[in-house]
Structure 1
């Protein structure tokens, strides 16, 4: 395990991830402009990015920044198991925000599948979170400074639970709001991603690099502790953010939750073969619940049973076991049905 004194600054990694995403989006926006018009002008790209409605992307940028800080508070005050389980509530908050903001219609079976998905991901993440020692490092460091009383622990856990709950709400709100912006206009997805990355740079730089890790960056340097793995993680984070936007654009945030859940399972399975991670009963149960939830959600809703309409011209009587017969003849002059019966 790498000593904490040699670790890189996570704030600088987040900032570089946004820069990387910004560069990729600029390239794709320019490429799209060349394909459509046959030429490229910086002034036209500037006009596309800084439009009167560009301020809309400031809202999710600020919300994502607040969410990241709340996650940091929650991880620092809760044990790994509690954090991993409670943070999966973002699946349900996303669905609630979709219903309220996008008027998405979800049947009871889909709501039930989302609850199952939340439980399944919580079980899978519970095992993965248990293998993560970063939270234990934070807890051990704090315990060496002072001996915490029961009341202190209770207060910190309350703060952590409040932080993770608000983070879940903000996660759903920011994701659904971004989806609404993407689908509510004809603006290119690359321009929208560019706007989001641009407005995310300022909180990432000010609140992250300068306020959170400013002393470490000033003392050790911006790229202290960086290696190939760190740069690879930054690239994956940037590309992952773009892929999420594509999924939200052409699907929705709820389906993104299912895709993320399945990717967690696939990543853990890959870790089993690559790093000899043990497969536990908890992981198997959680994975099974995720697959069941995915199947339930993907099934089309049963259409409401339509009531049979009876019209004079189309009415057919078939009374088996009765002692009379009905003969219907259409009177073309007045459009009525003549019914003759025989006892």
Structure 2
């Protein structure tokens, strides 16, 4: 019957089924029709994404990277719980990834993903990195509240240092001489922001009583989070690109779920003043949802850019984000830029472009031989 329904004799069969009051197709026929229609839609969607949307993903990543600190500082209430923000962002990322996983794969592909999943493997490959991601996210939220937006983005770029080191130790990936020089430039920019840029921010923020906290609660948490992110980046890269790589959307959901469990446990232990009982979203407005969603989308965009573009274009996207942060801070924040900010921004831009454009040439030499 399946073959007949799919052929040209469908009208005659349909009339017969209507007369017999048996028009409802069987489960097998319904599955076949569902898979056939969705397979064509999914194939065309994947082709459109891979061919036409890489530039769109790069533009969105640059905008998210540049505006995220400003959106968080402008739209989130002062003194909000960082754990609540991260939990909300994780839940948003789970919903987005689940939607794409369900409608971006056929039923057979989803069944294969579910059958291959195991709790033990999920804990080892996603649980441990999720705990580290949660700690880094909390440190970044604390630091973001005590430094200006441009310094935050520039300091956060020091994660390239630890990423290069950990990729060499865990994955055996070497750096070229130009890339090593780019990492030195990045480290110098971090030192400038940690000393000169931080002192200028102290003078500006002294009227808010935060002068003594700018380094301890601002620069230091961001640098620690950025440097420790190299280990988690190497672990997740090995998980996604190994011999038995996991589905990227499933892995994003796993990281968000384990990270949320870690954050909930931390909130229950550390919430001694009972702020959650008073209302976790106390002081939030409707616009506070915007930085939550942009944070979730930003994590997804990084994976899309990595998949559909290359490291050179990704480097330019991050540089564009830094330029956007510089311009937006001049317009939106009452924190004037200093010459040290501009010097550090130029150093970070140069180091990012050099590191992306000049990878090791060992593979190219091997091919020519």
Please classify the TM superposition score into its range, dividing by the shorter chain length.
Answer: 0.5 to 0.7
Q: Which one of the candidate residues 180, 186, 189 is aligned to 1:111?
A: 180
Q: Which one of the candidate residues 204, 215, 225 is aligned to 2:263?
A: 204
1:51 CA drift (Å) = 5.7
Q: Which runs of 5+ in 2 are unaligned?
A: 1-72
C-alpha RMSD of the superposition: 4.6
Report the Cα distance in structure 1 between the residues aligned to 2:271 and 2:254, rounded to whole angstroms: 25
**Would the aligned equivalents of 1:179 and 1:252 in 2 still touch at CA under 8 Å?**
no
1:234 CA drift (Å) = 0.7
Partner of 1:8: helix, strand, or coil?
A: coil
Q: Please list the CA deviations of residues 296-342 of structure 1 after superposition, one character each: whole Å capped at 9, or x if unmatched.
A: 334446969x9xxxxxxxxxxxxxxxxxxxxxxxxxxxxxxxxxxxx
1:162 CA drift (Å) = 8.4
Report the Cα distance in structure 1 between the residues aligned to 2:199 and 2:103, rounded to whole angstroms: 40
Q: Which one of the candidate residues 262, 266, 284 is aligned to 1:226?
A: 284
Report the Cα distance in structure 1 between the residues aligned to 2:143 and 2:229, rounded to whole angstroms: 14
Match for residue 236 of structure 1? 294
Partner of 2:104: helix, strand, or coil?
A: helix
1:52 CA drift (Å) = 5.0
1:47 CA drift (Å) = 3.8
Match for residue 339 of structure 2? 281
Give the alignment's TM-score, normalised by structure 2: 0.60
**Would the aligned equivalents of 1:11 and 1:213 in 2 still touch at CA under 8 Å?**
no
Match for residue 162 of structure 2? 93
Partner of 1:225: helix, strand, or coil?
A: coil
Moved more, 48-57 or 10-19: 48-57
Q: Please list the CA deviations of residues 226-261 of structure 1 after superposition, one character each: whole Å capped at 9, or x if unmatched.
A: 113321111111111112333455679998677545
Give the alignment's TM-score, normalised by structure 1: 0.64
1:205 CA drift (Å) = 1.1
Moved more, 220-229 or 190-199: 220-229
1:19 aligns with 2:91: yes
1:32 CA drift (Å) = 1.9
Change (3 A) 1:286 1:170: closer
Q: Which one of the candidate residues 5, 19, 31 is aligned to 2:103?
A: 31
Report the Cα distance in structure 2 between the residues aligned to 1:191 and 1:128, rounded to whole angstroms: 44
Q: Which one of the candidate residues 239, 250, 260 is aligned to 1:191?
A: 250
Report the Cα distance in structure 2 between the residues aligned to 1:171 and 1:255, rounded to whole angstroms: 21
Match for residue 348 of structure 2? 290
Correspondence list, 1:53-68, <5 A: 53-55=121-123, 56-68=125-137
Q: Which one of the candidate residues 330, 334, 347 is aligned to 1:272?
A: 330
Change (3 A) 1:163 1:11: closer
Question: Quick check: which one's helix share is greater?
Answer: 2
Moved more, 267-276 or 117-126: 117-126
1:10 aligns with 2:78: no
Correspondence list, 1:143-162, <5 A: none
**Would the aligned equivalents of 1:58 and 1:196 in 2 still touch at CA under 8 Å?**
yes
1:114 CA drift (Å) = 1.8
Match for residue 323 of structure 1? none
Report the Cα distance in structure 1 between the residues aligned to 2:354 and 2:77, rounded to whole angstroms: 47
Report the Cα distance in structure 1 between the residues aligned to 2:199 and 2:122, rounded to whole angstroms: 39
1:192 CA drift (Å) = 0.9
1:246 aligns with 2:304: yes
Q: State the structure with more CA Rg.
A: 1
1:183 CA drift (Å) = 1.1
Q: Which runs of 5+ in 1 are unaligned?
A: 143-155, 307-343
Report the Cα distance in structure 2 between the residues aligned to 1:166 and 1:19, rounded to whole angstroms: 25
Give the paired residue count.
Answer: 282
Match for residue 148 of structure 1? none
Moved more, 117-126 or 98-107: 117-126
Change (3 A) 1:79 1:136: farther
Q: Please list the CA deviations of residues 53-73 of structure 1 after superposition, one character each: whole Å capped at 9, or x if unmatched.
A: 222101110112233455678
